[in-house]
Amino acid sequence: MDYEIVARPSYSMLRVDLTPGDKLVTESKAMAWMDTNVRAQTSTRGGVLSGLKRKLLTGESFFQNTYEAEGGPGSITLAPGSAGDVVAMPLDGELYLEKGAFLASTEGVKCDAKFGGLRGFFNEGLFVLRCSGSGTLFFNAYGEIQEVDVDGQYTVDNGYAVAWEPHLDYRLTKARKIRSFLFSDQILLRFSGRGKVWVQSRSAAPLANWIHQFRPVKVQSDD
């Protein structure tokens, strides 16, 4: 299976050339175009419970699609929802992914929802995806991806940490001196130890707040 990340780095896409027998697991909705001999299979992958956990806890899709080429080689191109870059990562072990960052993987990689830790943050939806196994993992970022080598301590706003290595300790904290009765807290991830963090240069939550003014308004019913 060959792949190439095209249209880098601003609006990156992942093109995968499949030979019969190769299987590519993707986030649903990610398929942009493909040869006519590429077929999709849709499943909850890992069972209904696993799919449900993924959906409810991380906002990732309940269903994932598996693509295969039939009767000869075929190519498929995947696009993330947001503008930004795509990273291909050979995996042999574990990697934590921020919810929404999963784009695709080879068959040997499994992704599970995991609670991000720290009581009191449950409502914030601070769940992460734990990806494990061996194969290739493809994740996407909103914006450019910056690799930060942590040696000691480093702070990243919760919405900007896309991926990090499992041997890094991480702790969720609130920014100090913020008057929480006036606006929502800035939640920070404090990493410690030695390892790599992938940081994206934009975050979905501020965009979601900004777009609020442009959304249609729900028609009020009388009751």
Partner 1 sequence: MRIDILSKGAFGSALVHLDPGDEFVSESGAMYRASSNVDIDVTTKSRGKGGILGGLKRLIAAENFFFSTYRVTDGAAGEVGLAPTLQGEVRSIELDGSAAWYCSGGSYLGSDSTLEVETKFQGLKGLFTGESIFFLRVGGSGTLLVNAFGAVHPIDVDGELTVDTGHVVAFEDRLEYSISKAGGSWLRSFLGGEGVVMNFRGRGRIFVQSHNPNEFGKALGQNLPPREG
Partner 2 sequence: MKFELQGNPDYGQVLVQLDPGEKVYSESGAMSRMDTGMELRARLMGGMTRAMARKFLGGESFFLAEYQSSGGGEIAFSPALPGTVLHHRLDGGTVLMTGGCFLACSEGVDLRTRFGGLRSFFSGEGAFLIKAEGRGDLFLNAYGAVIEQQVQGGLTVDTGHVVAWEPSLEYSIGGMGGLKSTLLSGEGLVMKFRGEGRIWLQSRTLGNTAGWLVPYLLR
- Give residues in contact with partner 2 (CB under 8 A): 6-7, 10-13, 28-29, 31-36, 38-42, 59, 61, 63, 65, 77, 79-83, 99-100, 125, 204-205, 207-209, 211-212, 215
The Cα–Cα gap between 223 and 221 comes to 6
Residue 65 interaction partner, one of partner 2, partner 1, none, beta carbon < 5-8 Å per kind: partner 2
State the distance between the two ends of the chain, measured CA to CA, in whole angstroms: 58
**Do the Cβ atoms of 173 and 190 come closer than 8 Å?**
yes
CB of 97 to partner 1, least distance (A): 18
50 sits in which H/E element: helix 48-53
Asked if 6 interacts with partner 1 (CB under 8 A), we say no
Q: Which is nearer to partner 1, 36 or 213 (CB)?
A: 213
Amino acid at 79: A
The Cα–Cα gap between 52 and 56 comes to 6
The Cα–Cα gap between 193 and 82 comes to 31
- CA atoms within a 13 Å half-sphere pointing along the CA-CB vector of 87: 23
> Could you say which of 212, 221, 222, 223 contacts partner 1 (CB under 8 A)?
212
Residue 78 interaction partner, one of partner 2, partner 1, none, beta carbon < 5-8 Å per kind: none
The Cα–Cα gap between 188 and 77 comes to 34
Site for partner 1 in 98-117 (CB under 8 A): none
> Could you say which of 68, 143, 195, 198 contacts partner 1 (CB under 8 A)?
143
Residues interacting with partner 1, by CB under 8 A? Answer: 8-11, 83-85, 143-144, 146, 148, 152-157, 159-160, 175-179, 182-183, 186, 190, 199, 201-203, 206-207, 209-220
